[in-house]
Amino acid sequence: MFQTQFDLTPTHRPTAAPQMRIARPIDQKYVIATLVLAFSQDPIVRWMYPDAYQYLTHFPRFVQAFGGKAFDQGTAYSINTYAGTALWFSPGVELDAEPLFELVRHSVFEPEQADVFGLFEQMDHYHPHPPHWYLPLIGVEPTSQGQGYGSALLQHVLQYCDRDRIPAYLESSNPANIPLYQRHGFALLGTIQAGTSPTLFPMLRQPQ
């Protein structure tokens, strides 16, 4: 669902190849810290959690509820010592909705709750049913943006999609990222918006 702006206009390139590794459950606190920094100005996330204390308190729990299964499945990836991270779901892995819904009920201000659930309902409409890789969360911490880490985190799994002839799906929470995803083969399926929310952009990539 959520992808912060990370490397649309690279300012410089790393001097060495990025070091990709699987992030294990023991690494969760480091990965979550990276995502908290990366999403601090994300349109959807800060609409949900506009207050600074609210954001710092509840967004780490949101990451666990929304993307935490990736740690158990071995499909959470970090790059260059947590400079960037991507939480992928492999085919057949599904989100546990009820813990996420319960978190929203206890962490999002009441006037926005119905709109958040409206987003989830529309997301379910666009979500593919055939086997696919799903990208709930990807982000690069601000001091490491512009170095191609976001692209590397995408391509690390997209190579498996192409090898196995399986689609990939995401929802972009930042319109600035759409051109990047399109360069990696994703196509817009439509838009998702509810009440006062910013717009989400569901995107699907067929194997290439």
For residues 177 and 138, give the distance between their C-alpha atoms in angstroms, rounded to a whole number: 11
Three-state DSSP class for 155?
helix
For residues 86 and 193, give the distance between their C-alpha atoms in angstroms, rounded to a whole number: 24
- 175 phi, psi to nearest 5 deg: -60, -25
pTM for this entry? 0.91
pLDDT, tens digit, 9 for 90 and up, residues 88-104: 999 999 999 999 999 99
CATH of the domain at 62: 3.40.630.30
pLDDT at 125: 96
pLDDT at 11: 43
Q: How many domains does the chain have?
A: 1
Q: Does residue 5 carry a pLDDT above 70?
A: no
pLDDT, tens digit, 9 for 90 and up, residues 112-170: 999 999 999 999 999 999 999 999 999 999 999 989 999 999 999 999 999 999 999 99
pLDDT, tens digit, 9 for 90 and up, residues 51-81: 999 999 999 999 999 999 999 999 999 998 8
Task: Identify the band that residue 18 occupies on the pLDDT scale cut at 50, 70 and 90.
Answer: confident
Percent of the chain beyond pLDDT 90?
88
Domain that holds residue 75: 2-205
